Structure formats: structure tokens, C-alpha cells
Structure 1
Amino acid sequence: MQQLSFPAYSFRLKSSENKRYIFDVIRKKFLVLTPEEWVRQHILQWLLTEKGYPLSLINVEKEIKVGNTRKRYDIVIFNKDGTLLLIVECKAPAVKITQETFDQIARYNLQLQADYLMVSNGLSHYYCQVDTVAERYDFLRSLPDYERQVK
């Protein structure tokens, strides 16, 4: 798989029936290793090891209703009080991050109401804090560490 702009992490990989699989520590199962899954697993490791977000507060690929359609978010992280802290949208490295990508995560956030958003294709990462009062997104250099966000 392609080298991403994250630290090197050790993953559990396996091959079966000409397919490669990667172990997801959140869902506790092996998943087909697609380019997007490669990015998602790097982001999960980065959030856990570099940013200190607790594994128990992370949710991966769950269905939500946005308007009249059903969508799946990639990663969400909750505060200890159950409110939503962060939504992460993962794209494959070959997918360019565009305004459409930000529109997608903004639509999800209308439903979910997270404090922070992250969009990444594994090579480029964008972070923003949601300012609900001013109804805008403030872009950040990185996500704050979990300890700074505890509610």
C-alpha cells in the first residue's frame, strides 16, 4: 500500500483468497484492505497514539440519516458525556480533497453536531473547529489532543 503522511504504524495484515485484509481495532475484525481503509486505519492509529483519544469513545462506519437518505460516516469520536466531539471523513489517496468533500462532512454535521471536523486522503489533512454561534468553520493546523477537549 501507498506510504501516507502519518507516522509508521504496525498493523495486523493477512491474505486470503487473493485479497489482503487489515485488522480494525475498533470493530475488532479483519476488513478488506482498500485504499480508503488504509487511510482510515492510519487515522485511527494517529488519533489513538498521537492524539490520545480513547478507543472506547471511537465509532467507525455507522449509518446515519441525512435528510431523506442514509449515509455512513467514517469515524466519529464522542465526549465522555455522549455528545459528539469529532467527525472524520476518509478518502483514498487518489481522491482529491475538494469543496464537495467539505460539503459532504458539513451535511453529516448538520445531523451529528460535532465540535471538530477532519478530512483526509492520507496525504493531505484538513481540520476545523465548528463555531455554531457564528455559523462557520475555523481551520486549524491540527486537531487538539484529547486531554484538551475533555467535557
Structure 2
Amino acid sequence: MINIVFPEPDFKVIKEDGKTLIFDRFRKRYVVLTPEEWVRQNFLQYLDKVMKYPTALIAIEKEIYLGELKKRFDIVVYNREMTPWMLIECKEMEVPLTQATLEQAVRYNMVLPVQYLTITNGNNTYCCTYNKDQAQWQFLPELPSYHI
């Protein structure tokens, strides 16, 4: 497990029509503040402010197709050639990260191949990379730095 210390939140949060909305500066709009969205926004802030990942190379909630099923990934970080580099699957804080969570990310990876898969629920974070020699995913002790 990777220890993540999130930066102090500095989000813009408003109430509208009885719903709480948070401003997503990546999508440049307010979105409904669900428990999963809270994790996603904190993780995005961590990638930006702590890890210094380039914000222009981060995509949020884009559609992909798994066969005929339409799905949405949570976060994808691209390398400078605009090739997907890291896929991040977010769950709300009360949802445990299980083998099924990792398998969901692996299925997305079949459509959107990446070097790194990350799963997080805000409390726990795991990042792995595929080891071709051992034909298995290997968990990393920390998120990779963005130097590509």
C-alpha cells in the first residue's frame, strides 16, 4: 500500500438545487460532489500539487468501450506523446479495494493499455505495473514520478 498525504483541500464547493457541487478545475465545471468524486478531486490535487504531474496531460471520466459495454475511466495520465501512461480507478472511502477493483482496472487496461494501474479509495492506494517476465502485475511501493 502507498501512503498518500493529501494536500489541504482548497476546493470551491457550492449548493445548487439541493445538491452539493464541487468545481473540477480539470473539466472546468462544477460536478455533483459524491463520495467517489471527493476521492477523485483529492487524488487529482495530490497528482498536481505533490507529484507534479502535468495537469494538461490528465483526463477525467472519459468513455471507453469494453466490447459493446460503454464504461468511463476515472483518471488517465498521458505521457508527452499523448499515449496513456497511468490509469487511476477511484472508489469512495467506505468501499474496500479488492481483487475485483483491480480486475476492473485491468479490464480498462485491455482497451487503454498503460504502464501503471492505480486504485484508490482515499484511505488506501495501490499502484502496479505489469511484469512481462513473470506475466503478472507487480505492486509498487510508491507512485512513479512523472519524468517522461
Fold equivalence (TM over 0.5): yes
TM-superposed CA distance for 1:108, in Å, is: 0.5
Partner of 1:128: 128
Q: Residues 2-151 of structure 1: matches in 2 within 5 Å?
A: 6-132=6-132, 134-147=134-147, 150=148
The aligned amino acid for 1:64 is: I
The aligned amino acid for 1:90 is: C
TM-superposed CA distance for 1:5, in Å, is: 5.5
List runs of 5+ in structure 2 lacking aligned partners.
none
What RMSD, in angstroms, separates the aligned Cα atoms of the two structures?
1.4
The aligned amino acid for 2:142 is: S
Show structure 1 runs of 4+ deviating over 6 A.
none
More moved, 19-28 vs 127-136: 127-136
Question: Which TM-score applies when normalising by structure 1?
Answer: 0.90
Cα distance in structure 1, aligned partners of 2:33 and 2:133 = 40
How many pairs were matched up? 145
List runs of 5+ in structure 1 lacking aligned partners.
none
> Does structure 1 retain, via aligned residues, the 8 Å contact 2:15–2:21?
yes
Q: Which has the higher contact order (CA 8 A, sep 6+)?
A: 2
% identical aligned pairs = 42
Cα distance in structure 1, aligned partners of 2:22 and 2:141 = 29
Gap change, CA 1:52 and 1:5, over 3 Å in 2: closer
TM-superposed CA distance for 1:144, in Å, is: 1.5
